[in-house]
Amino acid sequence: MKRILLLGAGLSASTLIKYLLDHADYGNWQLRVVDQSLDLVKHKLDGHPRGVALSFNALDQKERWSELEQADLVISMLPARFHVEIAKDCLELKKHLITPSYVSAEMNALHEDARKAGLIFMNEIGVDPGLDHMSAMRIIDSIKNQGGEISGFKSYCGGLVAPESDTNPWNYKFTWNPRNVVLAAQGGMAGYIDRHQYKYIPYTQVFTRLDKISVEGYGDFEGYANRDSLSYRHIYGLEDIPTMYRGTLRKPGFCKSWNIFVQLGLTDDHLVLQDSENLTPRTFVNAFLPYDETMPVEEKWMNACRPLGITDISKFEWLGLFDNSAKLGLKHATAAQILEKILLDKWILEPHDKDMLVMVHQFTYMLNGEKRFIESSMVNLGDDQEHTAMSKTVGYPVGICAKLILNNRISERGVLLPTKPEIYNPILDELEDLGIVFQELEKVV
């Protein structure tokens, strides 16, 4: 019997755990799940005879070593910064590894050693990154195999709230890490290439330069530029492509309203605010507005909004930004941390709510003298609060990849991405059976 060691049992692991248990008898494996909360692991294993609940500090090498030694495959759902240390242990113990996170330079440096050891260190096998790579590469390879030449590729992804659960004026609720939402697009310029011209967008302008996207049955969306689009030319084998753009999806109107937070500095995560534990939402907002002895905060906020084209502040009133009844109570907090706390109270998914994952790819290419266009779109809705769309679109690809590795279906070795047909074809095929389906529209333009 083979052993799978899963490090981390958070929300994104729910569907992964169920998938691995559902296939455990057929695959003849045991799933051993580690988390700081033993009760959480027991809940997700639900008494399955092939599941083992464990609780120890997976970040401590001494505590994890004996479990790593006994594993045939390790899956790390820990925060991305810890993957390299796990990978180094797996290299020493000669264990295959899967992570859903971006490949860091430190992880990539292990490629040759992992290849020589006959190991698979599969990364970027979640939803974004992961499902975006696989679904894009299937189309890219198909176009190339027909002799086509790709001139443009745009890709968008968004974790959103399902239409039936869209009950607030922002048309948004947190479906993944709230901190990442607050800090979105920070950390430098957004870079892409548009018809052979390199384009760069500073953080202060990201939420004003938007693409419009429509998905049949789900309406209109807006896309803002991700920080890095250019490196994907190499990943997808499109080094000379004239247009390459990757973006994040939101419902129309969200970005314009979010932009006021950016412009006023409410998403800053560097400066610790003085006396932050005594701030109310109203005094927090007022701290970023000009001093005026007589002007109400609402009026000062409206004055800041008008230059951005915002003429209605009801969305901000709904958030409780002008409430002065209770202190937020965050000590030594940054503006971003305080904003996150305010938003958490309003953008939380209710027990009956469902999330939605939307992914759209757009290709322009020449084939047999014709300019052609393909749009490939996928929408997946969560089942419930545990098996969310995010959990499914992360967990299923990881789980199917685990099955491929344990069945020796992947020949390549080293630090890998799921960009080869032997990886993406079986995963995408099974995902269709699981309800994660891409719809393609192709036309001559």
Whether residues 80 and 189 share a domain: the answer is: no
Q: 262 and 249, same structural domain?
A: no
Most confident of 115-124, 169-178, 182-191: 115-124
Residue 272 covered by a domain: yes
Task: Read off the pLDDT of residues 335-349 as tens digits, 9 standing for 90 and up.
Answer: 999 999 999 999 999
> Cα separation of 126 and 83, whole Å?
14
The answer, yes or no, to whether residue 12 has pLDDT greater than 90, is no
322-338: pLDDT as tens digits: 999 999 999 999 999 99
For residues 216 and 365, membership in a common domain is answered with yes
User: Which residue's entry shows tokens 């991305």?
Assistant: 80
Indicate if 20 and 111 belong to the same structural domain: yes
Q: 235 with 274, same domain?
A: no
Q: Are 152 and 282 in a shared domain?
A: no
Q: How far apart are CA 13 and CA 396, in angstroms?
A: 10
Q: Which residues pair with 439 in a beta bridge?
A: 377
CATH number of the domain residue 66 falls in: 3.40.50.720
Q: Is residue 393 part of a domain?
A: no
44, 74, 72: which is closest to 58 by C-alpha? 74
| Predicted confidence (pLDDT) per residue in 361-419, tens digit | 999 999 999 999 999 999 999 998 889 999 999 999 999 999 999 999 999 999 999 99
**Is the domain of 36 the same as that of 103?**
yes
Residue 5, pLDDT above cutoff 90: yes
pLDDT bracket for residue 125 (50, 70, 90): very high
For residues 170 and 30, membership in a common domain is answered with no
- Which tokens go with 247? 């973006």
In a domain, 414, yes or no: no
Average pLDDT for 312-329: 97
**For residue 296, what are the domain limits?**
258-347
Same domain, 112 and 232: no
pLDDT above 90 covers a percentage of the chain that reads 97
Domain assignment of residue 443, yes or no: no
| 312 CB neighbour count, 10 Å cutoff | 11
Decide: helix, strand or coil at residue 293: coil
Residue 90's pLDDT band (cuts 50, 70, 90): very high
Residue 175's pLDDT is what? 86
Average pLDDT of the chain, as a whole number: 96
Please report which helix (H) or strand (E) contains residue 86, including its range.
Answer: helix 83-93
What per-residue confidence (pLDDT) applies to 320?
97
Place of tokens 């899963």: 6
Above 90 in pLDDT, residue 11? no
Q: Are residues 331 and 362 in the same domain?
A: no
Tell me the percentage of the chain whose pLDDT exceeds 70. Answer: 100
For the stretch 242-281, pLDDT in tens is: 999 999 999 999 999 999 999 999 999 999 999 999 999 9
Q: What is the mean pLDDT of residues 49-64?
A: 96
In angstroms, rounded to a whole number, what is the distance separating the alpha carbons of residues 31 and 422? 25
